[in-house]
Amino acid sequence: MAWLRFPRFRRAVNVFNPKLFENLSLAAFLAWVGLGSDALSSSAYGPPEIYYALKGHEYLAVFLAIGIPISVFVISAGYRQVIALFPDGGGGYHTASTLLGPKAGLVSGAALIVDYVLTAAISVASGTEALLSTMPASWYSERILLDVAILLFLIFINLRGMKESIKILLPIFMAFILTHTILLGWGLLSHVGAVPDIAYNTVASVRQDSMQYGWIFIVALILRAFSLGGGTYTGLEAVANGVHIMREPRVQTGQRTMTLLATSLSLVAGSLIFLYLMYQVHGQQGQTLNAVLYGAITRGWTVGGIPFGPTATLLTLITEGLLLFIAANTGIITAPIVMANMAVDRWLPERFSYLSDRFVSRNGVLLIGFAAVVILLMTGGHVSILVVLYSINVFITFTLTMAGLSRHWLAQRDKDPLWRGRLAVSALGFVVTASILAITIFEKFDAGGWFTLLITAIGVGLGYLIYRHYKSISKITAELDETMLDVVPEHLESGPNLPLDPRGATAVFFVSRFDGLGLHTLLTAHRMVGGFVKNYVFLLAGIVGQGEFKGIKALEDLKVYVETEANQYMAFCRNEGMAATWFATYSTDRILAMEELANVAIRYFPQSIFFAGRVIDTSAQGPFHGLLHDEVSFIVQDRLQHDGFSMMIVPVHVRGIPSKPPNIVLPISMSPDLELVQNEEVKKEEARVRAAAKAQATTQANIQESAPHAGTE
């Protein structure tokens, strides 16, 4: 009964098979490729923004080439703590929710979802610019069409499954590592003799500017460049969010992945910033700053007397562009994980918590992918605008994460002997991230910063409304449970089950647990069809969602829970003298599981009539009701009716009864036969009323005759 089918693959999958988790999990190397590519690819737009911010004071790039790697390791050290504290994933969302409270978690989660949309958008836009740097300038005007086409392609390959997507993109990642190691390494080694001159010029320029403008100006300029290059740090969050899909031991695998990511990002970003200064590169029309740098490094390269520089530059830019597309893929595959975590906490529609949504299902992938398309069209694919939007949301999450960690280690000061060192790391991370966030908002508020803050605020508001709706529904269903469970005897009789009649009429119930809705549906059906129904069958689907996809132990716990709930229905029916049984299955898709269970019930009991309950909140009906509540019962009903079987959905009205129709008098005609019947019934009713009135009058007269007269002793 634990088998299911994925409609996309058309092959059976056993969710209790340990190899399922091994196949879906990622080792550190694959995690570095699939999740770390976001951070590494940011070298295509983060360092250039830093260098552009130093215009006229490029000598300060020396300090930034050193400071960027240091800050990367500070932030990654904080996220190593997150991985250790939350090995089941969630990253910044779980950190903020657990350590700062649910409302802070909502803000962090909303910022993360917007961030992953922007990850896909900016990565594709930047990748397209890198590729177009190798093409004629006339192609540049068509970049937005290419952006959209690439995003649609990434959506398509992710609908086939995350592991398959990573395997397709793995060669691209390794080509990037190889080409950039050779190119950047050669660029540094071939000009190592220029380092003393650069150091001398830097010292002289700092002395001159400090005398002319003051030290505050220099520090402010460095901080501004740091903040505007905030895109460099993006992607560190992805590893902590995706740690639960990594291979055991998860914490060690996640931290190893984080170390690989931080080291590679620091080397690439720091080298690029220093090389910009070393080669004195400047932006050119139709080319990225990296393209100009690569051309300068490879100028004069030959192989067998044949110029090889342009070819090397072309290969490097191609791998850079393709790696950016991998980063876009990271946003697409990681966002559904965050959405699943938020759906478990009811900040998003509950359907997003299903496992089929979590690993690149249609809902998550299409939502993030097409939102990225909209952002690209709104911004025209301009990286300079996208990077501002991107950096703000990233550092909202970073700042909340570091604040939560700092609060946690303060609370652990009496329990953890190492709390001081850990607090120092998280507090330093908070100072760094909060400073970058504040400066970015201040500098770029009018240049698009207001937009990303507005979108994030809207996301927070929607999340709160969704949560409030679910909370009200939970209160109502709890009252229903309390009311209906009163009919259940305190001690249900134990003993053998009554014999079943497979050939007899059978009432089959879709239930999720032993609750008020299930009991109401059962009792209503018994009142309607109990006279001829011989068997009562209960179908339960254990849905493997974000909360259960943590290994075989979690699935076994789910199995025990489902069977316990099913046995309570059995005991109730046995107590009421009804022959009953149950079937259960475990799936990532509720509709698929219900169909599978229905087929099993029909196979054992051909004369089946299906029932399902539905809570109707008459005060909450609206255009978004279908989004918040997955009306799977109607879908299954339609499919069963298509196959020739009956299914009744039993409503439970809460918060009042639906309003009556307007009191409009319309002429109603009826069959003459029915009129005769009606007339006879009217005559009988009139005769009954007359007889009752006559009897009442006779009784009153008898009472008066027997009563004593006034004044008689």
Q: Who wins on pLDDT, 329 or 58?
A: 58
Partner residues linked to 687 by β-bridges: none
- φ, ψ of residue 362 in degrees (nearest 5): -60, -45
Q: Do the two domains 20-469 and 492-654 of this chain adopt the same fold?
A: no
pLDDT of residue 303: 81
Q: Is the pLDDT of residue 633 over 60?
A: yes
313-317, 324-328, 332-336: least confident range:
332-336
Q: Which two tokens stand for residue 527?
A: 């009142």
pLDDT at 711 (0 to 100): 42
The whole-angstrom separation of Cα 592 and Cα 148 is 33
- Cβ count near 706 (within 10 Å): 7
* Residue 63 pLDDT: 92
What percent of the chain has pLDDT above 70?
79
Residue type, 312: A
Q: What is the pLDDT of residues 242-264, one digit of tens each?
A: 777 677 777 888 888 888 889 99
CB 78 within 8 A of CB 425: yes
What's at 184, amino acid-wise? L
Q: Using the predicted structure, report yes or no on whether residue 166 has a pLDDT greater than 80.
A: no
Model confidence pLDDT, tens digit, residues 457-472: 999 999 999 998 888 8
Nearest to 536 by CA among 486, 575, 590: 575
SS (H, E, C) 36-74: CHHHHHHHHCHHHHHHHHCCCCHHHHHHHHHHHHHHHHH
pLDDT number for residue 11: 41
Rounded to an integer, what distance in angstroms lies between the CA atom of residue 252 and that of residue 323?
26
The per-residue pLDDT for 233 is 80
Q: How confident is the model at residue 627 (pLDDT cuts 50, 70, 90)?
A: low
Q: Is the pLDDT of residue 494 over 70?
A: no
Place of tokens 């392609």: 153
> What are the phi and psi torsion angles at 650 (to 5°)?
-90, 115
Q: What is the C-alpha radius of gyration for the chain, rounded to an integer number of angstroms? A: 34
* 3-class secondary structure per residue, 585-625: EEECCHHHHHHHHHHHHHHHCCCEEEEEEEEEECCCCCCCH
Point out the least confidently predicted range of 272-276, 337-341, 588-592, 685-689.
Answer: 685-689
For residue 495, what pLDDT band results from cuts at 50, 70 and 90?
A: low
* 184-195: average pLDDT: 90
Structure tokens at 211: 């005398």
The CATH code of domain 492-654 reads: 3.40.50.620
Contact 324, 41 (CB under 8 A): yes
DSSP assignment string, 178-230:
HHHHHHHHHHHHHTGGGHHHHHHHHHHHHHHHHHHT-HHHHHHHHHHHHHHTG
Backbone angles phi, psi at 302, to 5 degrees: -140, 155
CA distance 27 to 39: 18
Label residue 447 by pLDDT band (50, 70, 90). confident
Q: Is 262 exposed, middle or buried (0-12, 13-18, 19+ CB in 10 A)?
A: buried
Partners of 585 in beta bridges: 541
Instruction: Name the residue type at position 273.
Output: I
Contact between 266 and 233 under an 8 Å Cβ cutoff? The reply is no
**Half-sphere exposure (Cβ direction) of 445: Cα atoms closer than 13 Å:** 5
Q: Work out the pLDDT band at 14, boundaries 50, 70, 90.
A: low
Longest dimension (CA), the chain: 147
SS3 5: strand
Q: Rounded distance, CA 600 to CA 583, Å?
A: 8
Higher pLDDT, 45 or 34: 45
Instruction: Enter the pTM of the model.
Output: 0.75
User: Class assignment of domain 20-469?
Assistant: mainly alpha
Q: 547-571, pLDDT tens digit by residue?
A: 444 556 667 888 888 998 998 898 8
pLDDT tens-digit map of 317-326: 999 998 888 8
Phi then psi for 284, rounded to 5 degrees?
Answer: -130, 150
524 and 628 Cβ atoms separated by less than 8 Å: no
Is the pLDDT score of 668 beyond 60? no
- For residue 665, pLDDT over 80 is answered with no
Domain boundaries, the chain: 20-469, 492-654
Three-state secondary-structure class, residue 17: coil
Q: What is the pLDDT of residue 7?
A: 34
Angle between the 91-99 and 309-344 helix axes, to the nearest 10 degrees?
40
Q: How many CB atoms lie within 10 A of CB 259?
A: 17
